[in-house]
Chains A and B, each alone.
Chain A
Amino acid sequence: MIEIKNLNVAYGARRALKDISLDIESGETLALLGPNGSGKSTFIRALSGVVPASGSLRLFGRDLNGLNAAARARLIAVVPQTVALPPAFAVWETVLLGRTPYLNFLGQVSARDEQIARESLQKVDALAFAGRRVGELSGGEQQRVLVARALAQSTPVLLLDEPTTHLDLEHQIGLLELIRRLAREEKLTVVIALHDLNLAARYADRTAFLVGGEIRALGATKEVLRPDVISDVYHWPVKVIQHPFIDAPLILPDIK
Chain B
Amino acid sequence: MIPKSLAPFLLSSFLLLISVLLSIAIGSVFIPLPDVWQTISGQAANQTFQTIIWDIRLPRTALILLTGAALAGSGAAFQGLFRNPLADPYLIGVASGAGLGAVIAMSIKWPYSFFGLMAVPMAAFAAGMLTVFLVYWIARIGQTVPTTNLILAGTVFSSFATALTSLLMLRSSGELRRALGWLLGGLSLGGWDAVLALLPYVLVGLALLSLSGHALNLLQFGDEQAQQMGLNATRAKTFILIAASLTTASAVAFAGIIGFIGLIVPHIVRLWWGGDYRRLIPLSILGGGTALLLADVVARVAISPQELPIGVVTALAGSPFFLWVLRRSKNEGYW
A contact residues vs B (CB 8 Å cutoff): 11-12, 45, 48-50, 68-70, 72-74, 76-78, 80, 84-90, 93, 97-98, 100-101, 103, 105-107, 135, 149, 153
Does B211 interact with chain A (Cβ within 8 Å)?
Answer: yes
**Which chain B residues have a beta carbon within 8 Å of chain A's beta carbons?**
83, 142, 211, 213-215, 217-218, 220-225, 227-233, 270, 274-276, 278, 333-335
Interchain CB contact (< 8 A) of B230 among A11, A70, A86, A93: A70
> In whole angstroms, what is the CA distance A84 to B229 when docked?
17
Q: Of A12, A50, A86, A97, which one neighbours B275 at CB under 8 angstroms?
A: A86
Q: Which residue of A lies closest to B271 (CB)?
A: A88
Pair B228/A105 contact, Cβ less than 8 Å: no
Given contacts A84-B222, A88-B334, A153-B230, 14 further A-B contacts (CB under 8 A): A49-B227, A69-B227, A73-B228, A80-B224, A80-B225, A80-B228, A86-B220, A86-B335, A89-B276, A97-B229, A105-B211, A105-B215, A106-B211, A106-B214
B228 touches A88 (CB 8 A): no
The answer on a CB contact under 8 Å between B333 and A93 is no
Residue pair A73, B229 in contact (C-beta under 8 Å): yes
Contact call B213/A107, Cβ cutoff below 8 A: yes
Docked pose: A88 CA to B225 CA in angstroms: 17
Residue of A nearest to B217 (CB): A97
- Contact between chains at B215 and A78 (CB < 8 Å): no
Q: Contact check, A135 vs B217: say whether CB atoms are below 8 A apart.
A: no
Quick one: closest B residue to A152, CB to CB?
B229
CB-based contact B217/A93 at 8 Å: yes
Q: Which residue of A lies closest to B270 (CB)?
A: A88
Across-interface contacts of A105 in B (CB, < 8 A): 211, 214-215
Contacts of B225 in A (CB 8 A): 78, 80
Residues of A within 8 A of B227 (CB): 48-50, 69
Instruction: Tell whether, in the assembled complex, residue B334 and residue A87 are in contact, meaning their CB atoms are under 8 Å apart.
Output: yes
Query: Which A residue's beta carbon lies closest to that of B239?
Result: A105
What is the predominant secondary structure among interface residues of chain B facing chain A?
loop
With contact pairs A105-B214, A135-B333 given, residues A85 and B231 touching in the complex (Cβ less than 8 Å): no
A69 → chain B closest CB, angstroms: 5
The answer to whether B275 touches A69, judged by C-beta atoms less than 8 angstroms apart, is no
A93 pairs with B276, CB closer than 8 A: yes
CA distance A93 to B335 in the complex (A): 16
Most buried by A among B142, B233, B275: B275
Whether the pair B335, A69 counts as a contact (CB closer than 8 A) is no
| A72 CA / B226 CA spacing, docked (Å) | 12
Give 30 pairs: A residue, B residue, CB < 8 Å, sorted on A.
Answer: A12-B142, A48-B228, A49-B227, A50-B224, A68-B232, A69-B230, A69-B233, A70-B231, A74-B230, A77-B228, A80-B225, A80-B228, A85-B221, A86-B220, A86-B275, A87-B334, A88-B270, A88-B274, A88-B275, A89-B217, A97-B217, A97-B221, A97-B229, A101-B229, A101-B230, A105-B214, A106-B214, A107-B213, A135-B333, A135-B334
Chain B residue nearest to A107 (CB atoms) is: B214
Q: How far is the CA of A106 from the CA of B207 in the complex (A)?
A: 12
- Residues A153 and B229 in contact, CB atoms below 8 Å apart: yes
A93 to B218, CA, bound (A): 10
Bound together, the chains give a CA A50 to CA B223 distance in angstroms of 9
Smallest CB-CB separation from B211: which chain A residue? A106
Measured between alpha carbons, how far is A103 from B225 in the docked complex, in Å?
16
Would you give the shortest CB distance from B228 to chain A, in whole angstroms? Answer: 4
How many Å from the CB of B332 to the closest CB on chain A? Answer: 10
Q: Report A-chain residues with C-beta under 8 Å of the C-beta of B211.
A: 105-106
Compute how far the CA of A149 lies from the CA of B225 in the bound complex, rounded to whole angstroms.
11
**Distance in Å: Cβ of A188 to nearest Cβ of chain B:** 16
Enumerate chain A residues within 8 angstroms of B215, measured Cβ to Cβ: 105, 107
Q: Could you tell me the distance in whole angstroms from the C-beta of B21 to the nearest C-beta in chain A?
A: 33
Q: Is the CB of B213 within 8 A of A86?
A: no
Q: How far is the CA of A20 from the CA of B133 in the complex (A)?
A: 37
Residue in chain A with minimal CB distance to B224: A50
Chain B residues with Cβ below 8 Å from A49 are: 227-228
Smallest CB-CB separation from B333: which chain A residue?
Answer: A87
CB distance from A110 to the nearest CB of B (A): 14
Known: A97-B217, A135-B333. A89 touches B228 (CB 8 A): no
